[in-house]
Structure 1
Amino acid sequence: MSDLILHHYPNSPFAEKIRLILGYKQLPWKSVFIPMIMPKPDLTALTGGYRKTPVLQIGADIYCDTALICDVLEQLAPMPTLYPGATTGAAQIVAQWADSALFPVAMAYNFQPAGVAQVFASTPAEGVQAFVADRAAMRGGAPRMSSTDAAATYKSYLRRLANMLEGQNFLFGAQPCVADFAAYHPLWFTQERTPALATIFDDTPEINAWMARMHAIGHGSHSPMRGEDAVQVAHTDTPAALQGEVFQDEHGIALGSPVVIAADNFGLEPTEGELVAATHSRYTLRRTGDRSGTVHVHFPRVGFTLKKVSP
């Protein structure tokens, strides 16, 4: 198998989710640091437009969105599992809630003035302004929740998680699952990147103990890699053969059609390519670029839109 290459940056909460899963599954990986804001020339050479963090690369296969990356890592290393038997559906629902509801609330809380001062302590004012503008563009102009409202909601969410942890070490039992990794990463940012605001955990000791257990998992074995080298890996490799079911038609769009895929609510940059698979859980586009060569770019169905390119 080709190396697992993670395109990420240290402060990315969603990247922390995947770094920790790689450690949990004891999968060695290559670490490619990408910029926090656009432009991201090496990353978008591989994805064709998608710019959210992280992205997992395996040879000439590019996997977007952490929900899909979790599935890919589970297939590569089924044990220890992310999906605990009879509670798999519930764990996935909690994970989706954490990514789509808990995360934005936590980050609205984290980016109040005391948090911003810690995250950007060594960043010049123009760098902070560029970050704010970049994230506003990713939200498509949608307003961010106020830090006051976010604090109240965050506390409610923490109490719910604490309730799930009563009498057990992790959210669904004795071992961590996909729900734990998804719920942990926005709280990690509060604790590790904006510690001045971590007093919000004081009323939920179950959360503090659980976070210590999650932190102890670590990131496993990894080594640095340059972005241009990762692009060259894609160029010299070929995408893996598509396995099993490749087409479940929900749009009336035939395989082989030119299409555009984009996230449905945040980070709306589109990726255009040839639709070569549309399974029950993912889309795959074939793209060819001067730098990347021919690659397959994979997206989950949930959270993304598929449209045919108009002639």
Structure 2
Amino acid sequence: MNDLILHHYATSPFSEKIRLIFGLKKLPWKSVEIPQIMPKPDVVALTGGYRKTPFLQVGADIYCDSALICDVLEHVRPEPTLYPPHLKGVSRVFAQWADTSLFWAAMAYNLGPKGAAHVFGKQPELARAFGDDRKAMSANLARPRTADGTSAYRSYLRRIAHMVEEHEFLFGTEPCVADFATYHPLWFTRTVVPPMADILATTPAVGEWMDRMAALGHNVPIPLSAADAITIAAAGEPQPPGANLLVDSAFQDDHGIPLGTRVTITAESFGPEPTEGELIAATRTHYSLRRSDERAGTLHVHFPRIGYSLRKAEAA
């Protein structure tokens, strides 16, 4: 198998989710540091438009969205599992809640005036650039105001505490995908904006659970430049549908769009930039596009179905 290459940056919450899964599974990986805001020419060369963080590269195959990356890493190394048999449904549903409702409440709190001042310090130009970038990414998303997010975050922390007071992890003695999805916005509070971490003090059981999660580590990666990652993609051939790291392959047509059609795939809420290409797979869990880039060559770019819209390119 080709190397696992994670394109990410240090303070990205969703990247921390995946970095910890590398630690859980003791998987070797290579690390490409990418910009926090646009322009991202090396990112777009590989993804075709998608610019959320992180994404996973395996040769000339590009896997977008942390939920899909979790499925890929589970296929690469099934044990320890992210999806215990008795928790397959509830762990995924809980993770989806954590990656959306919990995440946006936490970030409304984390990047309120005090948190933003800590992150950006005396760099008003950087603060404005970051704010403008995230505003553009949030065009289709109703984000909570700071006060509303804070109220929700406090309630969510109490509910999480009720779970980890009973178990070492959310659903038992071992972590599952729900733990990783729940951890990363709280990690941002504790690690990236420590002046905001007093909100965690009222739920000490949550802090103890976070310590157990942090102890999983990242399984130290090998640094790789973006240019080298693009060279790796250009030198390789993407895996054919059904032979890549996504195990389901049967065509599921919910749109009346046949394989071979030129299409766009776009995130439904956060990150409205479309990726265009030839539809080569539409299974029960994911979409795959074939596209070409003058630097990266021929690539297959993969997206989860949930959270993404598929359209014919001419109707986009």
TM over 0.5: yes
1:264 to 261, 268, 280: 268
Q: 1:60 to 1:141 in 2, by over 3 A?
A: closer
Residues 213-267 of structure 1 deviation map (CA, whole Å, 9 limit, x = unaligned):
0011111030111001101100000011222524111100000000000000110
Structure 2 residue runs without a partner (length 5+): 243-247
Corresponding residue of 1:3:
3
Corresponding residue of 1:218:
217
Structure 1 residue runs without a partner (length 5+): none
> Does 2:199 match 1:195?
no
Residues 253-310 of structure 1 deviation map (CA, whole Å, 9 limit, x = unaligned):
0000000000001101000000000010000000011011000000000000000122
**For 1:106-117, what aligned pairs fall within 5 Å after superposition?**
106-117=106-117
> Does 2:232 match 1:233?
yes
SS of the equivalent of 2:314 reads: coil
Corresponding residue of 1:282:
286
CA distance in 2, matches of 1:194, 1:310: 44
SS of the equivalent of 1:202 reads: helix
Corresponding residue of 1:103:
103
> Does 2:307 match 1:303?
yes
> Does 2:246 match 1:247?
no
Corresponding residue of 1:150:
149
> Does 2:185 match 1:181?
no
Residue type of the alignment partner of 1:261: I
Residue type of the alignment partner of 2:269: N
Paired positions, count: 310
Residue type of the alignment partner of 1:85: P
CA distance in 1, matches of 2:301, 2:144: 32
TM-score, normalising length from structure 2?
0.96
CA distance in 2, matches of 1:97, 1:265: 14
Residue type of the alignment partner of 2:229: A
| Equivalent residues of 1:91, 1:177 under 8 A apart | yes
Corresponding residue of 1:159:
158
CA distance in 1, matches of 2:32, 2:141: 30
SS of the equivalent of 2:81 reads: coil
CA distance in 2, matches of 1:142, 1:265: 5
| Equivalent residues of 1:136, 1:142 under 8 A apart | no
| Equivalent residues of 1:26, 1:221 under 8 A apart | no
CA distance in 2, matches of 1:205, 1:221: 29
Residue type of the alignment partner of 1:48: G
SS of the equivalent of 1:175 reads: coil
**For 1:120-159, what aligned pairs fall within 5 Å after superposition?**
120-121=120-121, 124-140=123-139, 142=141, 144-159=143-158
Residues 106-155 of structure 1 deviation map (CA, whole Å, 9 limit, x = unaligned):
0000011211122123x621111000000000000755422221111101
> Does 2:29 match 1:29?
yes
SS of the equivalent of 1:272 reads: strand
Measured after TM superposition, the shift of residue 86 of structure 1 is: 1.2
CA distance in 2, matches of 1:232, 1:141: 34
Residue type of the alignment partner of 1:8: H
Residue type of the alignment partner of 1:99: D
Corresponding residue of 1:76:
76
Corresponding residue of 2:208:
209
| Equivalent residues of 1:158, 1:204 under 8 A apart | yes
Between 178-187 and 145-154, the greater mean CA deviation after superposition: 145-154
CA distance in 2, matches of 1:309, 1:194: 41
In angstroms, what is the RMSD of aligned CA positions? 1.2
CA distance in 2, matches of 1:164, 1:139: 31
| Equivalent residues of 1:259, 1:308 under 8 A apart | yes
Corresponding residue of 1:64:
64
| Equivalent residues of 2:140, 2:270 under 8 A apart | no
SS of the equivalent of 1:51 reads: coil
Q: 1:218 to 1:226 in 2, by over 3 A?
A: same
